[in-house]
Amino acid sequence: MTAIDHLVIVAGGKGTRLSALFGDIPKALVPVGGKPVLQHQLELAAKAGVRSATIFAGFLADQIAAFVGDGSRFGMTIAIRVEDAPLGNAGAVLQSLDILPERFFVMYGDVMMAVDLERMARFHLDHAAAFTAFVHPNDHPFDSDLIEADADGRVTALHNAPHAPHRVYDNLVNAALYVVERNALAPAPGKQDFTKDVMPGLIASGARVLAYRSAEYIKDMGTSERLARVEADLESGKLDLANSGKPRAAVFLDRDGTLNVEKGFLASPDGLELLPGVGAALKSLRQAGYSLVVVTNQPVIARGEASEDDVAAIHRRLEWELGKEGAYLDAVYLCPHHPDKGFAGERPELKIACQCRKPGTAMVEQACRELNLNAKASWMIGDQTRDVELARRAGLRAILVRTGTAGRDANFSATPDFVADDLRAAADLILEQKKAAA
């Protein structure tokens, strides 16, 4: 049961862009899979042990009040607060702090999700955050509101769309799900917005604002096109409400020679070039429900040929280019170490034997912990024998691709489960195996 037992839902929206389908209806009552979005949200919260909620309603608030009643059918106590005038997604909350508990979740009323709220609550409490924002990658970062965070997950900046054409940011999308410490907020008059007003103010004040990165499903359904996608995801099983919180299957991916053209020790984003068909392959795996995680050795850092910032820029470019093809990664894990010495400019503190350098399993283990992944149901795709050996040690099934090194390094004798011409063919093999096992 979550240590945070109160939920705030901001549900003042009119659903204007959905009126052609449903007439005049609050967005929170638009049905998905035969049930209003609001019902899905309340049931998810109740499952996590949330026992009370405050719903800030506006347009046709009486319909929302009639639907939820006192909340007892959801195992909750629910209060409805009605906005006399639109106050943005944060205004009503900031004007009602006196009636809210010391910490609470915040959801927007037009977001469908299958999120482990207990896990997010533990993250918030364990890291002593003032404000925690759920962030995730998506397939269109170039027109999304993005969050910038440091290596410790502390939010340092927000970048609202539209973005300048030449700018490339991390693919960290603000998903409109928060955990908030009431004492971190202050009353404010008029319209207020969490991403434009509240979060920037907290960051400027030095408050501990954290990004909680997750591969779990969360998507707004505020337009007919988005609603259709959410409905399709529910029908296909990609949006699995019954299994929210359970470990998921993943496909772990090598980087150089698997996703992008092998060019030796890549030290600049200018040299990144996606291999043909990579975007389509990742999209097909994503649609089948797999999380997608890169695990890559980057000895260029230890050798002094590139800094951590240089490699981060390469990965921003990688995710940006994938976004152009409608694909995205859940996370990128890298090993900066290199045990061999004798390079000009090398960094002695990184010239060590470690457990994260493939075929060591530490990156996979970290991803499984942080992203709630099931290694036994997962795969590894790479172009080197170290990728195959990693899979053997970590309990993953392995596919060796004939791109890049194509296994010619011969450093390890482990045998892959399959060999494929490229990532597209490897994805097809995984999907065939999934279908056969169904």
Q: Residue 15's pLDDT band (boundaries 50, 70, 90)?
A: low
**Is residue 345's pLDDT more than 70?**
yes
| CA neighbours closer than 13 Å in the CB half-sphere of residue 243 | 13
| Mean pLDDT on 321-344 | 93
pLDDT the model gives residue 250: 97
Across residues 360-389, what is the average pLDDT? 97
Asked if the model's pLDDT at residue 389 lies above 80, the reply is yes
pLDDT surpasses 90 at 25? no
The average confidence (pLDDT) of the chain is 92
How does residue 238 score in pLDDT terms, banded at 50, 70 and 90? Answer: confident
**Hey, is 328 helix, strand or coil?**
coil
Residue 254 is among the residues annotated as catalytic for this protein: yes
pTM: 0.86
Q: How far, in Å, CA of 307 to CA of 271, rounded?
A: 15
Please determine, for residue 436, whether its predicted confidence score (pLDDT) is greater than 70.
yes
What pLDDT is attached to residue 173?
92
Nearest 5°: the CA angle 204, 210, 212 is: 150
pLDDT value of position 422: 98
Quote the pLDDT of residue 20.
54
How far, in Å, CA of 328 to CA of 321, rounded?
9
CA angle, 141 as apex, 139 and 147 as ends, to 5°?
Answer: 130
Which residues lie across from 8 on neighbouring strands?
54, 106
Pairing state of beta strands 35-36 and 31-32? antiparallel
pLDDT tens string 277-332? 999 999 999 989 899 999 999 999 999 999 999 999 999 999 999 999 999 999 99
> Which entry of 256, 383, 387, 422 is annotated as an active-site residue?
256
Does pLDDT of 18 surpass 60?
A: no
Distance of CA 123 to the CA centre of its chain: 15
Q: Is the dihedral of CA 322, 324, 327, 333 positive or negative?
A: positive
Question: Which residue in the list 5, 116, 170, 254 is annotated as catalytic?
Answer: 254
Q: In order of start, what are the domains of the chain with their CATH numbers?
A: 6-236 (3.90.550.10), 250-437 (3.40.50.1000)
pLDDT of 134-190, one tens digit each? 999 988 888 888 999 998 999 999 998 888 888 888 889 999 999 999 999 999 988
| pLDDT over 60 (residue 260) | yes
Kindly give, in sequence order, each residue whose CB lies less than 8 Å from that of residue 72, ignoring residues fewer than 6 positions away. Answer: none
Answer yes or no: is pLDDT of 1 > 70.
no
Task: From 131, 232, 145, select the one nearest 186 (Cα to Cα).
Answer: 131
